Amino acid sequence: MNISILNGRLIDPANGIDDTLDLHIQGQQILAIGAAPEGFEAQETIDASGCIVCPGLVDIAASLRDPGPGRIDLASETAAAARGGITTLVCTPDTQPVIDTPAVIELIHRTARKLRRTRVLIAAALTQGLDGQQLANMAALARAGAVALSNARHPLANTLVERRALEYAATFGLTVMLRPEDPHLRAGGCAHEGAVATRLGLPGIPSCAETVAVARDLALAEHTGARVHFHALSTSGAANQLREAQAAKLPVSADVAAHQLHLTEMDIEGFDADCHVSPPLRTLADREALRQAVADGTIAAICSDHQPHELDAKEAPFPETAPGISGLETLLALTLRLVDEGVLSLTEAIARVTCGPADLLGLPHGRLGAGSPADVCIFEPDTPWTLHRSALCSEGRNTPFDGWEFEGQVTHTLFNGRVVYRRDAREPTQVTSN
C-alpha cells in the first residue's frame, strides 16, 4: 500500500531533520520525504497536523517471555510495543527454553513474522542455559541471526568464563551485552543499600555491586578487544567509569532503563512491589548522574527493560516479589518527560530511543531516509493522558506509573509500511485521554 503522512513535524535525528515535511511510503519502504514523486498516488493519507513524525522506536532490551509458560507471549507483547511506537525490539535470551540454540531463534523469528507487528531481534545466550559456565555455540547463533549476545539477568561470576566468552564473541564481531553486577556483593538483596532499605528492614544491594563488576568488565574488554555493552546502569559510579573508558577509546557503551531516570529509592516506601526492580532504584544523586550521562551522550540509549509479570508475581512480601516493570508502553512517555524537565532537547530524546540504540548494535533501523524500512511513530506531543494499568496491552500490568499523567501519546505506528497501531478512543482498552 502507498501511504502519505502529511503536515507533521518530522524529526529524524540520524539524518539531522527537524522540519514540517511530508513522508511518502511505497510498499515496505520510505519512498520520499517532502514533495511526493511524480506519479505517486497514496491509497491512504494520514493527517499528522500537530503531531511529531519520527522513526519507529528501537528498544534494545526487552524480555518477551515467549517461549515460556503463562499468558504473556509475543502476541500480547508485540501489541504493547506497537502501541508504544516501538518497531524494533531486541529480545533478551531469558525465555523458557533459553535462547541458546538456532532452533529457538527460528521459533521466535517465525512467530514474530506471522504477527507482523514489530521486528523482533535476538540477543542470544552467552552461556548455555544462562548457567555462566559453558559457552554457547556463538557461531551457530550468529548464523541464525543473533544480533548480540547476553546472559540476561544472570551476571557471570566466573571471570575466566567471561574472558573466554568475550574472546569468542570478538571473533564473530558480536557485541556482548553485560548486566554488571557482582552476585556475591548483591548477597540476596532486593533494594538499594541505604537509609530507605534500612528503615524498611530490607536486605540491601550496595552500589559497589555494580561498580566492581563494571571495573572487571572494562578490564576484560580492554584485554580481549570485544565490544561490550552495559545493560541497565543504575549508579553514578558506573556512569563515571563508562565515561572514562570511552575517553580512553574502549569500544564500550551502555543503556539505562527509562524508569531509572524518574524513580529513586524513595519510591519503595510503603513496600510498593511495583518498584521492586533489578538493578534497584538508587539514590537521587544516582538518578541525576544517569540523567547527565544520557544528556552528554555517554549513555546513548534509553530502553524499556521490559519485564512483564502476571499478577501473582507482585502479590507477596516485597523481597519475595519478582523484580521488574512492564515498560513497553511507557518508554516514549518517560523519555519525553525528560524534555519537559529540561534534561534533553526533543531531538536528543528521540535519538536516545531510535538511532542511538540502533547504532550501538550496528542496526540499520531508527532512521527515515529514502529506501529505509517504513517504520514510523506518530505522536501528539502536547496531548495529556493518564496511564491506567488495566488498559495496558501487555499481559504484564506491573507498572509503578499507574495514574501518572503524561504528555506525548502515540496515534499511529507503522511497521514495514503497514499501520500496526492506530489510536481509537472508542477502544475499551484504550489508554484514556483527559
In whole angstroms, what is the distance from residue 150 CA to residue 138 CA? Answer: 11
Give dist(CA 193, CA 201) in Å, integer. 10
Query: Do 121 and 423 touch, CB atoms closer than 8 A?
Result: no
Q: Report d(CA 292, CA 181) in Å as an integer.
A: 22
Q: Which of 5, 119, 18, 26 is nearest to 372 (CA)?
A: 26
Strands 29-33 and 148-150: unpaired
Catalytic residues: 305
CA neighbours closer than 13 Å in the CB half-sphere of residue 285:
7
DSSP string covering 151-220: -TT-----HHHHHHHHHHHHHTTPEEEE----HHHHTT--EETTHHHHHHTPPEE-THHHHHHHHHHHHH
Instruction: Look up cell 549508579; give the residue.
Output: 235
Q: Which three cell numbers stand for residue 125?
A: 545466550
Q: How far is CA 47 from CA 11, 50, 52, 125, 433, in A?
A: 16, 9, 11, 43, 20
